[in-house]
Amino acid sequence: MPDPTEPTTARLPPMRLPSAAALVATDALALLAFVAIGMRSHQIGAILEVAARNVVPLAVTWGLVSAVAGTYRRRDLVSLLATWVIAVPLGLLARTLWVGSPRGGRIAVFLGVGLVFTLVFLMIGR
């Protein structure tokens, strides 16, 4: 009979990683949520052109960087963060060039807010 005063070493079952397709879908929804909330908070209508110019730069840079970083092959936090820290600023800067705003010092604020909120949405999804 086991001694009740002895600590037990229960093993947890190994964690199953979500499939790459599930992670791609989750990350895409997180990035789309970021864009949708940003558009709504700035009272920008949900016109297809406006939505596209806000989504396309982020989606393209995310897709390219995640392919190079192997984000969905590895499916780990390190590759996600590597993709995030490179793709989000590049995507937001590409969006700024396309749209023409923000300008000047506001670009740094835009990047900071974009980095924080995309990370929050990505972590909620994960």
What pLDDT shows up at residue 15? 75
pLDDT digits (tens, 9 = 90+) for 87-116: 999 999 999 999 898 999 999 999 999 999
State pLDDT tens for residues 64-75. Answer: 999 999 999 999
CB of 27 closer than 8 Å to CB of 122: yes
Choice between 117 and 49, residue whose per-residue pLDDT is larger: 117
pTM equals 0.73
Question: What was the pLDDT predicted at 9?
Answer: 60
The Cα–Cα gap between 86 and 38 comes to 20
The mean pLDDT value for 69-88 works out to 96
